[in-house]
Amino acid sequence: MNYTVTVLPGDGIGPEVIGETIKVFESISSRYGHQFNFRTGVIGGAAIDQFGTALPDDTLQMCKDTDAVLFGAVGGPKWDHVNAAVRPEQGILAIRKGLGLYANVRPVKVYPAIINSSPIKPELLQNVDMIILRELTGGLYFGKPKKRWKTPTGKRRGVDTLKYTEEEVERIVRMGFEMARARRKRLTSTDKFNVLESSRMWREVTTEVATDYPDVELEHILADNLAMQIIQDPERFDVIVAENTFGDIISDEASVLCGSLGMLPSASLSGLTSTSTSGSPTVSLYEPIHGSAPDIAGKGIANPIGTILSGAMLLRYSFGLHEEANAIEASVEGVLAEGYRTADIASVEDTVVSTREIGDVIAGSL
Ligand code: NAD
């Protein structure tokens, strides 16, 4: 089969981790006989430098005219002025909006071989296997008004708005129920029902949707309590569905269970099927959960596994290539079991390999 993948390496370690993922795709291509046509687009800080905008129209169009998007990361100190009107992160927010990607799927799995890389006690991590489903195009990150201003007396003020429609809540929660139904049939919905009106609406809609899924056990949990329990008793979670900000924070926290931010993949989807409700094909975007890690960019030490596993998700969700996706995941597991470690997941006694070396062994062992 022939597939077109738009690749957006972005900034910092983005190009490094994307490079290793393409290597893995090439290996899949020669083993299974698929043809992947990669087209590279510019986004984030790199796009600001070249075009003065974080998401040039050409890049967005390229993403719309493709089968799937593989994304690295954007941002860095060069563009981090508090008052900057144009910011690299606007690129990723705009692409999510532009492609209608309202759901971010973040699987959290602990690999036995690196269980000691986590600061959490290994006995708490034996059976951790959860999905964090984060709402991606609404809530606090997008709600208007969103602004800063000064009062007539010169005092600074700032406002962000946490706003949801019932349709937005229903579609993400329904996706959560569908995912839970295909797994261990347990959905945890998180909110701040005790203090936020939008959360009260979120909980109400979730409870209503639950009546369509009597086989799935629904639990509501306050976001602060969830933040604690995800560390204290992570094995009990199956699928967690969360508002944009809560999901962002909780999934970074959950990465600690896996030993490093560099281990976690994600998929941003506009539905669970490859066609939208209107029947037109949807384009999904796949990216590691980490940022551009400017502190280690260019040193050749970044962990590419989160991006490589995002590539596996791309093959599974966008192309239905389950065997190929499983092969990549098995290769990652095998390489970790053989003792290969990038610096972020290495213990003192481990031999540390570079970004390129671990990419080579993962691609090679396919
Ligand atoms: P970050 O995820 O880039 O880095 C946090 C820490 O984790 C750093 O110490 C970094 O070295 C380490 N780390 C991250 N990925 C790693 C990997 N693959 N291998 C090894 N170590 C890794 O978060 P940050 O430092 O808060 O943000 C840096 C920049 O990235 C900022 O400009 C931020 O806005 C941006 N950012 C972008 C995205 C995105 O593009 N989706 C997401 C988050 C942050």
Decide: 206 in ligand 1 pocket, CB within 6 A. Answer: no
Alpha-carbon distance of 253 to 231, in angstroms, equals: 8
pLDDT in tens, 50-68: 999 999 999 999 999 999 9
pLDDT in tens, 37-53: 999 999 999 999 999 99
Domain at 119-258, CATH class:
alpha beta
User: Given ligand 1 and candidates 261, 263, 295, 305, which is best to mutate, with the most ligand atoms within 8 Å of its CB?
Assistant: 261
Q: Tell me how far the alpha carbon of residue 84 is from its chain's centroid.
A: 25
Decide: 311 in ligand 1 pocket, CB within 6 A. Answer: no
**What is the predicted pLDDT for the residue at 81?**
78
**Which ligand 1 atom lies nearest to the CA of residue 307?**
18
Q: Tell me how far the alpha carbon of residue 186 is from its chain's centroid.
A: 21
Decide: 261 in ligand 1 pocket, CB within 6 A. Answer: yes
**What is the predicted pLDDT for the residue at 279?**
52
Is pLDDT larger for residue 275 or for residue 351?
Answer: 351
| 78 Cβ neighbours under 8 A, 6+ residues apart | 45
Is pLDDT of 82 > 70? Answer: no
**What is the predicted pLDDT for the residue at 281?**
62
**What is the predicted pLDDT for the residue at 282?**
84
Q: Domain-by-domain residue ranges, the chain?
A: 1-104+277-366, 119-258
pTM: 0.91
Name the superfamily (CATH) of residues 1-104+277-366. Isopropylmalate Dehydrogenase (3.40.718.10)
- Burial of 54-92, coded b for 16+ CB within 10 Å and e otherwise, reads bbbeebbebbeebbbbbbbbbbbeebeeeeeeebbbbbb
Mean pLDDT of 6-15: 98
pLDDT tier, 272 (very low <50, low <70, confident <90, very high otherwise): confident
Q: Indicate the average pLDDT of the chain.
A: 94
The answer to whether the 1-104+277-366 and 119-258 domains have the same CATH topology is yes
